[in-house]
Structure 1
């Protein structure tokens, strides 16, 4: 783990080394420190392999990590005081380093570096005492930075049932209980019980997918140990009602119960409550769930059998069983040999080993999938599998899978360990956006770039590697097979928190955490507590590099002063669900900040003039004044703003070379004269109904892959937007989202659309022609969404007569369509169909297996 820190700091030191000629003796000292770090890096591979079980080696690594932190603090503090701003740092230093203030801080940095170099020399010498050997840096990095991209499984399902073993019978029994109530039509509560890691959530997902079409209303909710009844009730309400509720700051639980009850009173509903820890939860929610004798159902999963008996005394809890030997072996091999065809048998020399390994897991699915993930990284090698069997610390008497999880962690390369520990920042059951996580990893400096085209691609590979090892649960993927959302199992999250605490990389503050009063300097702090009087701010100080706040209601007296955290690199704040905005002050003092994500916060008179390192800005929700100086930041890579009025227009003629993402939504007139040569994703909105020419903008977008158009009340979209032939890379455009009315007498023509188009969404197009014949000619199209795409007076069915050779996902929620018919031989790869409840669907026999969801 220390290697990851030193690697990052070495890169940071390069920035100062490049300016050494303007720093005099300090520059030479920095070079000396860097040379010592390089020598120590040669020892880290051997030290890391010996740290478990050897307290002396662990202490050696701890000393090295603390020194590495001192280097980072010293150099960043120097930049803070001399006013590091941009690439013209050299010229500024020429002027500044002769001033008394700058001379003072240069002298202070020099003294600190003298102490650091002495410490590094002592640490380097002491390694011999601990038996730590020199290993060539080339041998260490060879192959480790070259993460092999696992096969991407393109799926729109939350659970891939082809990879689930031993649960089909359980699924059928639960479905029978949902559909056949022994007491006729009363509201029944069914509970799946069993220990952690047994697959209760997986089973609940499988049941939910199969049963939800039978109900008027359905929702699946994850319940953490620190659940909020208010949040659960709000999630049960439709989106429009939720927005209305949030405008009432002091809405009571009783008010929400009445609203939910009123909403559900005329509906047959299915509500799944996953991972319930307290029997009191049902007592708090039951009044909101009416029993109208219409066959409504509640399905709960829990590790505690008392939860089941207290919810419904007439229904026996469904106790999930452990897998038998045959099922265990089958699941292990599915994970260990993921690219092998189902009909192929395991090689004879591995079969006996696989049997022994699977029996060690004692039927626990989580242990089997994680162990299979370890084996999948070894390949079908008898020697490698045998070594796993011999070296793992097998103590599973109580069906505990932690030794397997720990082995999977130890088997990771250093940069993947850093990425895994970072998962500790998220609260229990948090749905994690993959893109957001990847941008945080990059801001932290975790991702090596050797041999990869972009650092984002390398980060995607790292996330795929964690998925391959079954250390994260993939909830969804996009049409290209890239991960969109993930979750982390409770056991695996516990491992991440423990390792992060041990390495002092992340400190978690919560009701259940032992870190609420830490005895060390906090580098990354994540506030996940529910109790409002937790004074964690006393322990988070000026050396904190990353700060994560979830549900900020009641903290900081509703204000956060960034002057207390001036060395931050990452700041993520998820504001209160009760609309009590957290006021953030002095943002512009965060000159080292690379990632800023804000949800439902309040920023007044914000300035970005001092934030010259910013790479990612995400503003979700309202509560922001116009930001000043954003477009002067040359390092910007991703800007995602929910409301365009929160940012100022890009000045005419401005070039932002590094910007890759600009979306949700920006007005066309705000960017039409900008130069964005590396932009890959663009979101444009038009609420005025008037359009300015987009020709100048489109001619500069050489790398655009995705663009989204959002017109208020479906105003008309110009022809050059519908068919953007002006784009230099028009042929390579992959995703188009168009919300708004098409120009008169303009119909869908496949020849005018990009030939490599993978995803297309049409909303409010008001087409007077069936678009399916033309769209079927797009041979690369994988996802198609039609929402009010046809004219209001449309009469007749929608027929898909031919084509759609690559289509996997089809969504048709057009209220004007009565019938949807797919001819034989059309859409051979279709796996998911989502349609309006009023549409009659006619599929050919070869597509009867397709999952159909009614919305």
Structure 2
């Protein structure tokens, strides 16, 4: 991760050299040397990451490098702020700008020289204490090679984790559409451990053409461990799409009780379906149900939860459906769809390796698709190295989501690491608008232009690449373009730990 931060700072120095070339005077050479030193350290850090060197001395050394990188960023940011202040001055004060620029340049030179001495010192520490001595061959790492095909036709399969759950979907669809003369509101709860595909199954039902025909009013909201009833009510109202835009802006000012009354009025006398995703406690449902009319129109509510007691006790009229783990055949089918989608004929040795790994995933869909993301676009030789790395990480005879995620994360180019960790600033289970995310990534400076590609296109490429690697889920598509996405809460939890360790950003709950 430190190599990603260092690469980001190196890019920032390069931009600064271009933008401030006219005032740099004696500082240009100093900054170029600093940039070169950081580039060398970044390359070394990538090798350390690839060999998974995680002894205590290496951790301390990486922390020293990280501190220097952030201090470099602070120096550049202070200089930019002063340049903006000078450009806004008027009248006689502007005559002092030349002197001010020279003084600022001298201060930056002093700061940069101090930073260079710190880099020399941290390099000496590495050599003195033998940090990251390589005991393995250091061949070229071709797995870092990126395929820049931004404008290629993309077919994101939103239902890939529903493989093997056809019977579950059939049973639940029948429950949703059942019209036995009893038209009271009825609840369906889908429960099971994290990563089994509860949300994916609920979304498949929600988007079913039969469900769309039966329920004119449909809404989706998420709950998670930390929730606010007012926010949930607002999400349901917006998701229904029944309120005009100008009215939405007005009701954003409503309190919780006013929103309850408004939502009740929207749904009264209507046949509706509301999905409440990722409930952790019964109180979350209790806080919502007052706003959902218990009418005689055959309305339905679906909840997803990891907790059996919540699934079975959330309401008197409830069908609780426990999700199972996938069989080996189902697991292999899911894996092939992702890992070998571009391969017409799979090599026998490759298939054997894949089958061995799939058995260790114990039928957990999330672990399978993340593992498949690692296989995708790899040649047999690269897969051999990757498998050896994965076996070294196993503490028992099974592959956990966290193990596969760690390996997936190490393999990401530095800009993808930054983009992925940035997603953790959004709340758990939050549906992220891709256009908004692109603007945020560009504003943060995480994306660098490459060739003739626009910076916004680069940002979109990074997001879609994370989707291709199964680290991010595409939620809503329009004409093949991803409009919104989300990060699974299990992957988000691991990413938050990495982000905090890198002091990258503050996180929402």
Question: Scaled by the length of structure 1, what TM-score is found?
Answer: 0.53
Residue 117 in structure 1 maps to residue 120 in structure 2? no
Identify, as 1 or 2, the structure richer in strand. Answer: 1
Q: Distance in 2 between matches of 1:145 and 1:287?
A: 54
2:91 equivalent in structure 1: none
Q: List per-residue Cα deviations over 1:83-110 (Å, max 9, x = no partner).
A: 4778xxxxxxx975752x5554344333
TM-fit CA distance, 1:415: 2.3
1:299 maps to 302
Do 2:220 and 2:235's aligned partners in 1 also have CA atoms closer than 8 Å?
no
**Superposition map of 1:661-680 within 5 A:** none
Equivalent position of 1:53 in the other structure: 54
In the alignment, the residues of structure 2 paired with residue 427 and residue 459 of structure 1 have an alpha-carbon distance, to the nearest angstrom, of: 21
Counterparts of 1:102 and 1:314, CA distance in 2: 73
CA RMSD of aligned residues (A): 3.4
Deviation at 1:440, TM superposition (A): 2.8
Shift of 1:383: 2.7
Task: Spell out, residue by residue over 1:675-711, the C-alpha distance to the aligned partner (whole angstroms, 9 max, x if none).
Answer: xxxxxxxxxxxxxxxxxxxxxxxxxxxxxxxxxxxxx
Distance 1:394 1:313, change over 3 A: farther
Distance 2:424 2:186 in 1: 37
1:285-296 aligned within 5 A: 285-296=288-299
- Cα gap change, 1:363/1:248 in structure 2, threshold over 3 Å: closer, same or farther? closer
Instruction: Report deviation, 1:35.
Output: 4.1
Pairwise CA distance, 1:207: 1.1
2: CA distance, partners of 1:383 / 1:259: 59
How many Å apart are 1:270 and its aligned residue?
Answer: 1.3
| Cα pair 2:220 2:236 within 8 Å, conserved | no
Identify unmatched segments of 5+ residues in structure 1.
87-93, 509-527, 530-855
Give the conservation status (yes or no) of the 8 Å contact 2:188–2:318: yes
Match of 1:208?
A: 206
Flag the structure with more relative contact order, 1 or 2, with Cα contacts below 8 A and sequence separation at least 6: 2
Q: Structure 1: how far apart are the matches of 2:369 and 2:252?
A: 45
Alignment map for 1:162-173 (pairs within 5 Å) = 164-173=162-171
Q: Name the SS of the counterpart of 1:370 in structure 2.
A: helix
Separation (CA, whole Å) in 1 of partners of 2:86 and 2:147: 34
1:747-801 CA deviation, whole Å, 9 max, x = no partner? xxxxxxxxxxxxxxxxxxxxxxxxxxxxxxxxxxxxxxxxxxxxxxxxxxxxxxx
Which ranges in structure 2 are unaligned for 5 or more consecutive residues? 88-93
Match of 1:323 in 2: 326
Shift in CA distance, 63/105, structure 1 to aligned 2, threshold 3 Å: same
CA offset at residue 255 of structure 1? 3.1
Per the TM alignment, residue 198 of structure 1 is displaced from its structure 2 partner at its CA by 0.3
Q: Following the alignment from structure 2 to structure 1, what is the Cα–Cα distance between the partners of residues 234 and 21?
A: 57
Q: Distance in 1 between matches of 2:44 and 2:61?
A: 11
Q: Structure 2 CA distance, aligned partners of 1:293 and 1:53?
A: 61
Cα deviations across residues 211-269 of structure 1 (Å, max 9, x unaligned)?
23212322222223222222332344455378547536764433332332233221111
Which of the two has higher C-alpha Rg?
1
Of 166-175 and 408-417, deviating more is 408-417
In structure 2, relative to structure 1, the CA distance for the partners of 1:216 and 1:396 (3 Å cut) is farther
Give, in whole Å, the separation in 1 of the partners of 2:4 and 2:140: 12
Tell me by how many angstroms 1:121 deviates.
Answer: 1.0
The answer for the alignment partner of 1:558 in structure 2 is none
Residue equivalent to 2:90: none
Cα distance between partner residues in 2 of 1:270 and 1:142: 49
Higher relative helix content: 2
In 2, the alpha carbon distance for the partners of 1:32 and 1:75 equals 15
Partner residue, 1:258: 261
- Shift of the 223–212 alpha-carbon distance from structure 1 to 2, 3 Å rule, reads farther
Determine if the alignment matches structure 1 residue 5 to structure 2 residue 5. Answer: yes
d(CA) in 2 for partners of 1:207, 1:22: 61
Matched, 1:338 2:341: yes
Q: Deviations over 1:811-836 (max 9, x none)?
A: xxxxxxxxxxxxxxxxxxxxxxxxxx
Q: 1:177 to 1:225 in 2, by over 3 A?
A: same
Q: Is the 8 A contact 1:191 1:302 kept in 2?
A: yes
Alignment partners' CA distance in 2, 1:249 and 1:160: 33
Instruction: Identify the residue that residue 387 of structure 1 maps to in structure 2.
Output: 388
* Mapping of residues 52-91 of structure 1, within 5 Å: 52-83=53-84
Contact 1:392 1:404 in 2 (8 A): no
Separation of aligned partners in 2, 1:264 and 1:327:
40
Distance 1:213 1:96, change over 3 A: same
Distance 1:226 1:270 in 2: 24
Equivalent residue, structure 2, for 1:197: 195
* Paired residues for 1:473-552 under 5 Å: 473-479=473-479, 481-508=480-507, 528=508
Could you say what secondary structure the match of 2:273 adopts?
strand
How many aligned residue pairs are there? 494
3-state DSSP of counterpart to 1:69? helix
| 388 and 140 in structure 1: CA distance in 2 versus 1, 3 angstrom threshold | closer
SS of equivalent residue, structure 1 residue 198? coil
User: How far did residue 490 of structure 1 move?
Assistant: 0.5
Equivalences for residues 666-815 of structure 1 within 5 A? none
Which residue pairs with 1:277 in the alignment? 280
Q: Distance in 1 between matches of 2:260 and 2:84?
A: 54
Between 457-466 and 498-507, report the one with greater CA deviation. 457-466
Is this contact kept in 1: 2:442–2:459, CA < 8 A? yes
**Alpha-carbon separation, structure 1, partners of 2:253 and 2:433:** 30
Once the two structures are TM-superposed, the CA of residue 314 in structure 1 deviates from its matched residue by 4.3
1:470 is paired with a residue of what secondary structure? coil
* Separation (CA, whole Å) in 1 of partners of 2:39 and 2:300: 62
Q: Summarize the alignment of residues 542-581 of structure 1 with structure 2, pairs less than 5 Å apart.
A: none
TM superposition shift of 1:359: 1.1
- Give the SS at the match of 2:224: coil
Structure 1 residues 394 and 449, CA gap change in structure 2 (3 angstroms): farther
Partner of 2:243: 240
Q: Partner of 2:221: helix, strand, or coil?
A: strand
Residues 105 and 167 of structure 1: is their aligned pair in 2 closer, same or farther, counting only changes over 3 Å? same
* Partner SS, residue 494 of structure 2: helix
| TM, length-normalised to structure 2 | 0.85
* Distance verdict in 2 for CA 1:459–1:64, change over 3 Å: same
